[in-house]
């Protein structure tokens, strides 16, 4: 199949979002996948300075993934890069494999938590850092255009495979888990028909757990529940945890980078608190915690910072999104002990810079073996969140945010790409332009629900007032 010949396709031009290029198949088609992969090949060659760098390539089980995978492989080899075919694999296992196999980069074909009709290409560099929108601005430059430079027939890249990568990944996790701290546990595991099912059940059993599986059949149509592991999608898991009197329940999204937990009382634990519990467990098991750092995104609850403060540890805030979090962690990798983002992405940087829902589950097994998950959960500080959004064009977003930021107290503000966070003691407000939709989003958090709602309404009104001024 020729991917860079003339073809009548939509005039839509895609660009990187928060983490990779993401769209439905009518926009992210084989031609576009090949275009982005070819550009990433050139990006990697420039970064690594290798004539024939090796780029790992993996995919999830979505119906469009094999097609986009083949197109990406074509673009990479056309650029002169060798391709390490990892096959169907979770995103965190792919990121671990790319680092373990000393690859110069990685493309993962997966739309992660999005519905079945979506797909994406995620890009990761040689240091294990996801490529952000800003760093990857050049990756879309070949859309609907010929690829250049054109290599000779004997200069194109080669395809190779690593058939035992799942076994290697599982072994590495077991080597980084304190098995002596784990008691026999009963766990209900919901793979959501995603790639976690290829890895997690065996791993949890190897750690001595009785594992009750639901939604374990690999199926890219997500027949049993939507991919995103949020509370409203996990009714079956919550019910099963209660019926089985399990120690906890766990659910992953389609590519297993996000994870959710259900405690022994059948309560869903919001993603921020999953990060906070992981941070607490990491610091409890660290001999000199004051020398360490914690990282999270600016949209994450203050509960993470509060937990870190109990140990005298500083929390570093990043822009919203996995690439920015990884950049912060990599910059001070020796001091970073744990972190993550509010959607249930937990990072243990000594193991990997990836959000790894499977590794995080194994660390939860250590923690729950010492004390019931409900007790850990109840010990965390309580916060309330409120969210809203205001429709705005690209031009309005830029002007409104610039105006609001200029009026804010510089001592309380954390400037972000496309917005800012304002710290207000035990509360905070995040005002941020959506990277994919025509909205300005306002998030607020406080110790009381009433104050969180009041802050959201206050800043929504400020955005709308500024919008009126922009229109004038």
Enumerate the active-site residues: 112
Treating both helix axes as pointing N-terminal to C-terminal, what angle do 65-78 and 30-48 enclose, rounded to 10 degrees? 40
| Count of helices and strands (H, E) across the chain | 13, 20
Those residues with Cβ within 8 angstroms of residue 30's Cβ, 6 or more apart along the chain or in another chain:
1, 3, 67, 68, 70, 71
Those residues with Cβ within 8 angstroms of residue 445's Cβ, 6 or more apart along the chain or in another chain:
301, 302, 383, 384, 385, 386, 427, 428, 452
Please choose, from the candidates 430, 312, 325, 447, the residue with its C-alpha nearest in 3D space to the C-alpha of residue 383.
447
Q: What gap in Å lies between CA 327 and CA 187, rounded to an integer? A: 34
Q: Burial of 412 by CB count in 10 Å (0-12 exposed, 13-18 middle, 19+ buried)?
A: middle
> Could you give the 3-state DSSP secondary structure of residue 424?
strand
- Tell me: cis bond preceding 149? Omega within 30 of 0 counts: yes
Contacts 24+ apart (CB under 8 A), 170-174: 170/199, 170/202, 170/203, 170/206, 172/96, 172/100, 172/351, 173/203, 173/351, 173/358, 173/359, 173/362, 174/203, 174/206, 174/207
Q: What gap in Å lies between CA 125 and CA 108, rounded to an integer? A: 12
CA 443 to chain centre: 19
Please choose, from the candidates 304, 247, 315, 294, the residue with its C-alpha nearest in 3D space to the C-alpha of residue 271.
304
Q: Burial of 39 by CB count in 10 Å (0-12 exposed, 13-18 middle, 19+ buried)?
A: buried
Please choose, from the candidates 336, 326, 342, the residue with its C-alpha nearest in 3D space to the C-alpha of residue 99.
326
Q: What gap in Å lies between CA 129 and CA 108, rounded to an integer? A: 13
Tokens 């983002």: give the residue. 341
| Residue 192 zone, left/alpha/beta (φ > 0; ψ -120 to 50; rest) | left
Please choose, from the candidates 48, 54, 101, the residue with its C-alpha nearest in 3D space to the C-alpha of residue 76.
54
């Amino acid at each position: 199949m020729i991917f860079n010949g003339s073809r009548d396709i939509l005039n839509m031009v895609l660009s990187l979002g928060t983490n990779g290029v993401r769209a439905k198949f009518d926009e992210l088609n084989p031609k576009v996948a090949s275009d982005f992969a070819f550009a990433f090949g050139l990006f990697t060659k420039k970064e690594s300075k290798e004539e024939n760098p090796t780029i790992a390539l993996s995919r999830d089980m979505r119906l469009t993934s094999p097609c986009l995978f083949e197109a990406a492989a074509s673009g990479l080899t056309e650029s002169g890069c060798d391709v390490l075919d990892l096959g169907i694999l979770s995103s965190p296992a792919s990121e671990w494999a790319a680092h373990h196999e000393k690859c110069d980069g990685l493309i993962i074909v997966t739309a992660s938590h999005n519905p079945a009709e979506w797909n994406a290409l995620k890009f990761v560099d040689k240091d294990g850092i996801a490529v952000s929108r800003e760093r990857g601005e050049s990756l879309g430059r070949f859309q609907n255009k010929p690829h250049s430079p054109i290599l000779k027939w004997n200069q194109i890249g080669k395809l190779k495979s690593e058939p035992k990568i799942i076994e290697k990944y599982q072994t590495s996790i077991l080597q980084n888990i304190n098995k002596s701290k784990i008691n026999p546990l009963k766990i209900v595991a919901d793979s959501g028909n995603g790639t976690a099912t290829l890895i997690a059940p065996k791993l949890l059993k190897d750690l001595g757990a009785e594992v009750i599986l639901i939604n374990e059949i690999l199926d890219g149509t997500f027949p049993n529940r939507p991919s995103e592991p949020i509370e409203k999608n996990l009714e079956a898991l919550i019910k099963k945890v209660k019926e089985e009197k399990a120690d906890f329940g766990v659910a992953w999204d389609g590519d297993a980078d996000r994870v959710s937990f259900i405690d022994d009382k059948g309560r869903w634990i919001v993603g921020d608190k999953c990060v906070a519990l992981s941070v607490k467990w990491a610091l409890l098991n660290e001999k000199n915690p004051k020398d360490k750092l914690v990282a999270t995104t600016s949209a994450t609850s203050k509960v993470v910072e509060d937990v870190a403060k109990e140990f005298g540890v500083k929390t570093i805030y990043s822009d919203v999104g996995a690439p920015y979090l990884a950049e912060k962690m990599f910059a001070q990798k020796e001091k970073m002990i744990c972190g993550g983002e509010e959607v249930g992405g937990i990072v243990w940087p000594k193991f990997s810079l990836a959000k790894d829902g499977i590794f995080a589950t194994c660390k939860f097994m250590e923690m729950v073996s010492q004390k019931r998950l409900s007790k850990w959960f109840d010990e965390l500080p309580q916060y309330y969140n409120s969210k809203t959004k205001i429709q705005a064009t690209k031009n309005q977003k830029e002007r409104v945010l610039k105006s609001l930021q200029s009026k804010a107290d510089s001592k309380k503000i954390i400037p972000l790409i496309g917005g800012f966070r304002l710290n207000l003691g035990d509360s905070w407000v995040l005002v941020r332009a959506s990277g994919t939709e025509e909205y300005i989003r306002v998030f607020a958090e406080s110790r009381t629900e009433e104050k969180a709602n009041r802050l959201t309404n206050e800043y929504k009104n400020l955005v709308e007032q500024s919008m009126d001024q922009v229109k004038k």
